[in-house]
Structure 1
């Protein structure tokens, strides 16, 4: 995936900024509280069958979801679109839902005092920089190894090699924001 920018820790500041923009928009539109999760993911998948390449797929997805509150009324919406218009529309959709739900006195964010303060880095991101050609070669090699174990093996359901990376940021109107890759 070296031809495409990596989805790793370096993407976190931009996602944190997006979370802050979404929270600000929710407040601007009248939400009394909200929580937002933004994600960015990408992956490569190759499959071979009978010593032939069947598929090579690349995916890159981004999106966000918001749950907001108007008093004790709750609404949620999500989108895979990005940009200011998508933020405005998704917040407006969640707000419209919240305005039509019943009040629930148990609904809302956890108390602000319960929010984590010192977030640890768990060293979760371990990039595997592999090209589609390398992935195909590895999958073909694995399938060949299966065929080589016994001459009676004439057919196989195929071999798939997939790699995936992503990052996620969560924030809420209490001022908490944190993420990982």
Structure 2
């Protein structure tokens, strides 16, 4: 542990002790740190550069069943911060579910999950990568303009101490490259992008490959038509599939279940996906983007099965939502400087038996979606309606591009009709393969 981390952990412990002196029955203190650098270019010229660092502290105190959280930067006066937090807690309404995590569930050690890479790419190298991405994209025949290319590098960290004895820190690095370009002219213009984001610098895709993929995706979308109106199968490419599984995760989030604002609130033990499909959440995997050695309350989460053989098996729970539901936290608390809520870690959908090409051939006629527009997923009712673009599937092959269409259905029915391919990518925290929804309402021509 470096000297700066030790100093910040000591500050967190001093906050807890100051809270006790001010009258708190229990408390925890978190320090959220981050540092980042980025550069973006457009048409061969630097458009923006940025460098930022932050360190925010938050003290959460409990006085009986009353609680309050105060946050400030790391230079704040410890005593005044603690006194303010306790004063706020004393006039807050009681919450019967408030409190720190069960001490028996706290992590006993903090394993190294290989989440941090200390590589610091030179500014000149970052600029060269951004320029190389854009140049590769503009070299694709049919590409006519650039929305820009960008490179970033940085890290974030959480330090946490609790009055019940937990003390730990975690740090995660992040590197990304992205490019966005335009193909065609006038009313024929189409835009698309490609990107890569990794925790370890050496894992990044080459900038030329990212730029070329962005250009090819944009050109492929030129001259779109309209999909026929009707009900037929819809296939989501992996980008869209990850978002679709994200709707399921939102619906089984313990906060939504406790508030009764999820269409799956009464579905525990029921079939929510087809038989044979399982989804796990695994926080302790090495070198994976969703991993964390402890959660936002100091608990070491274990792998859990969210859906087993199609049946809903678990909610995502932090301590407060678990108490409200009469359950035990499964270590899924996510923490910002001032708030805690349940969240997933590494979500892994069991792969299907078909490759994406086989899934398309098996579909025969349908729609292949590569972009969704809007936020038309209602987690309360399950109603789903989004703008979409992509390609027709004709005779089991990807056909003509289509745009300005709407796809709709109800998530409860859509989840039960899903068929997964076998191409999930582990570089993302949601490992969701290409998927097919057997029947959606499509509004086109």
When the two structures are superposed, what TM-score results if normalisation uses the length of structure 1?
0.86
Task: Please give the per-residue CA displacement for 1:55-111, whole angstroms capped at 9, x wherever unaligned.
Answer: 1100001101121011221011111x22352x3333233222201112333321123
Query: Which structure 2 segments of 5+ residues have no match?
Result: 172-445
Asked if 1:163 corresponds to 2:153, the answer is yes
Question: Of 122, 129, 138, which aligns to 1:147?
Answer: 138
SS state of the match for residue 137, structure 2? helix
Asked if 1:59 corresponds to 2:49, the answer is no
Aligned to 1:109: 100
Name the CA distance, whole Å, in 2 between partners of 1:122 and 1:66. 27
Q: Which has the larger radius of gyration?
A: 2
Question: Of 24, 28, 33, which aligns to 1:35?
Answer: 28
Structure 1 residues 50-89: aligned runs within 5 Å: 50-79=43-72, 81-83=73-75, 85=77, 87-89=78-80
Following superposition, the deviation at residue 172 of structure 1 comes to 0.6
Aligned to 1:23: 16
Comparing 87-96 with 32-41, greater Cα deviation is found at: 87-96
Task: Please give the per-residue CA displacement for 1:5-63, whole angstroms capped at 9, x wherever unaligned.
Answer: xxxx5243222212111111111211110011102210001100011000110000110
Following superposition, the deviation at residue 126 of structure 1 comes to 0.9
Name the CA distance, whole Å, in 2 between partners of 1:78 and 1:124. 26
Structure scoring higher RCO (CA < 8 A, sep ≥ 6) equals 1
**Does the 8 A contact of 1:26 with 1:68 survive in 2?**
yes
SS state of the match for residue 156, structure 1? strand
Deviation >3 Å, runs of 4+: none
**Does the 8 A contact of 1:49 with 1:156 survive in 2?**
yes
Name the CA distance, whole Å, in 2 between partners of 1:67 and 1:145. 50
Query: Which structure 1 segments of 5+ residues have no match?
Result: 1-8
Count matched residues: 170
Name the CA distance, whole Å, in 1 between partners of 2:28 and 2:135. 49
Aligned to 1:5: none
SS state of the match for residue 154, structure 1? strand
User: CA distance change for structure 1 residues 84 and 158 in 2, over 3 Å: closer, same or farther?
Assistant: closer
Comparing 99-108 with 35-44, greater Cα deviation is found at: 99-108
Name the CA distance, whole Å, in 1 between partners of 2:138 and 2:100. 56
Comparing 115-124 with 137-146, greater Cα deviation is found at: 115-124
SS state of the match for residue 130, structure 2? helix
Higher helix share: 1
Name the CA distance, whole Å, in 2 between partners of 1:123 and 1:15. 22
Task: Please give the per-residue CA displacement for 1:105-147, whole angstroms capped at 9, x wherever unaligned.
Answer: 3321123222221221212111231122221111011101111
